[in-house]
Amino acid sequence: MRDSGTADRLRAGVDAFDLFFSRPDAAGKMVPPEEIVLRRLRGLLGRLAAGQERIPGEAAPSDYFNALLREGGAPSLDARLRALLFEAFIEHRVLPGELTAETPGPTASFLLEKAADLLRAVALAAPSLDAADRARTLPAALELFTAPVPDSPGELAALLAECDRFRRHRVFRFIGGKFLPAEVDSAKPLDRFFGYPGVRSAFRDHFRKFAAGKTNLPLLVNSLPGHGKTSLTVSHVLAEPGLVLILPEPEALERGWCDLVEPLAARPDHRFVLFFDDIDPRHTDWYQFRTNVGGAFSLPENVMPVLSANYEFPANILSRGRKVSFPVFDEVRCMEMVEDFLSGFGVKRTAKNLISIISADYTEEFSQKKFTELSPRSLIRYLSGYEHDQIKRKTMVELSFGPMITRPDAELFYEFNIELMRSLYGEEYIQKLLKERLKALE
């Protein structure tokens, strides 16, 4: 027969569970959330607290917990429960700094006490698992019942704080309403970007100000393909230690904006960059963006959107952010990038012949179909090969002292850019561009 102390601790655990996870329905009845492990856990604790046996024909606990693990949950259900408790602290406006403070505030102290009640009640559920249940339960699922409960509030606080996903990871994809940790392979040091000093300066200034809490004005970036919009954004975010990069699905810009932003607004201890990459402004429904950015509602101070596109943004969207446009990549900007690159080798700025020789060799390799585009992206690939080819470097230097210095073909850049713009923007845009050039010559 169960002693009264055990029954009291189980009831305290049920009360704590409802405090953290359950919500009242229209009739005022507390309803567990949809999360399968929580619903099952609430039912198990409730029956144990009431002294009830398992309902005949009902699935065993092992069936529910094993299924959850197969669905790709946390490494263990114990870790899953701690993570859910941590999120519940955030919902109650208890941030990690207060949670782990030497002297937590009254709300944090109260919630830590309730969290301990819940974990102790879960530990009491272990004896209720019969031999058949134990034999069918995966070890990671069984850890939910057998994990030790920390002895002190401070130990429990530290254990919960370890579940802060935004401290463990700096890059997330936002898919199906969930923040999923991600890895970014394309990030490179900021000193590995060359040329385009105005654009790079704008990026550096904007991200530093956001990291310092001085602005969260959206950054609206456009250029032709291959100019480095994605790489510059990712690298600048990761260069600022206090920033977290969120990569949402494009649909989140049009639908589900609140689902994306509200959980981040609840974390003012972090600053988030929402990077909507490679969108098409011509076919985007801007209603939610205009409503929540400079419209009826304001962006949370710790959230900054960055939108990149190969097309111009509408005027009513440009008025809500800072526009950064890449100038067209031509022979002049090609040589500027090469000059920047060579400066890393200690080459003097006056080595114009070497710059010209290298730039001409790059365009020659494009003509030989070694690259499919004339762009900063393909030039970086060319320069990477040059950097690691000692023989080629020696040959280029020797040619730069020769009697004939080749230059990059300006016509080649012009023809490539015209065809690229025609494919993106249509013939009408090209005609408009040519008219503007003719007017400039008058």
Q: Global pTM? A: 0.85
E strands present in 34-186? 171-175, 178-181
Tell me if 359 sits within 8 A of 334, measured CB to CB. yes
DSSP assignments along 132-149, one per residue: HHHHHS-HHHHHHHHSPP
**b (16+ CB within 10 A) / e for 332-360:** ebbbbbbbbbbeeeeeeeebebbbbbbbb
Tell me if 173 sits within 8 A of 180, measured CB to CB. yes
The residue among 319, 286, 327 whose CA lies nearest residue 220 is 319
Residue identified by tokens 């254990």 is: 159
Specify the pLDDT at position 364.
95
Q: Is the dihedral of CA 243, 247, 250, 254 positive or negative?
A: negative
Specify the pLDDT at position 200.
96
Specify the pLDDT at position 142.
78
- Measured distance CA(306)–CA(317) in Å, rounded: 12
Q: Within 13 Å of residue 309, how many CA atoms lie on the same side as its CB?
A: 19
- Measured distance CA(331)–CA(409) in Å, rounded: 7
Tell me if 76 sits within 8 A of 156, measured CB to CB. no
Q: Is the dihedral of CA 69, 72, 74, 75 positive or negative?
A: positive
Q: Is 211 helix (H, G, I), strand (E, B) or coil?
A: helix
Instruction: Compute how many other C-beta atoms are within 10 angstroms of the C-beta atom of residue 363.
Output: 23
Specify the pLDDT at position 145.
77
Specify the pLDDT at position 1.
45
Rounded to 5°, the CA angle 368-370-372 comes to 100
Residue identified by tokens 């579940």 is: 163
The Cα-based distances of 304 to 159, 223, 321 in angstroms read 30, 20, 10
Tokens describing residue 47: 């029956």
Specify the pLDDT at position 68.
66
Walk along the chain (442 residues) and give the pLDDT tens digit of each residue: 456 788 899 999 999 999 999 888 877 787 877 777 778 788 888 888 887 766 666 667 777 777 767 765 556 778 888 888 999 999 999 999 999 998 999 999 999 999 999 999 988 877 767 788 788 888 877 777 778 888 899 999 999 999 999 998 999 999 988 899 998 877 899 999 999 999 999 999 999 999 999 999 999 999 999 999 999 999 999 999 989 999 999 889 998 898 899 999 999 999 999 999 999 999 999 999 999 887 777 899 999 999 999 999 999 999 999 999 999 999 999 999 999 999 887 776 668 999 999 999 999 999 999 999 999 999 999 999 999 999 998 999 999 888 889 999 999 999 999 999 999 999 988 888 878 777 776 6
Specify the pLDDT at position 53.
66
Tell me if 222 sits within 8 A of 232, measured CB to CB. no
Q: Is the dihedral of CA 61, 67, 70, 76 positive or negative?
A: negative
Tell me if 376 sits within 8 A of 226, measured CB to CB. yes
Q: Is 243 helix (H, G, I), strand (E, B) or coil?
A: strand
- Measured distance CA(49)–CA(125) in Å, rounded: 10
The one-character DSSP state at 242 is T
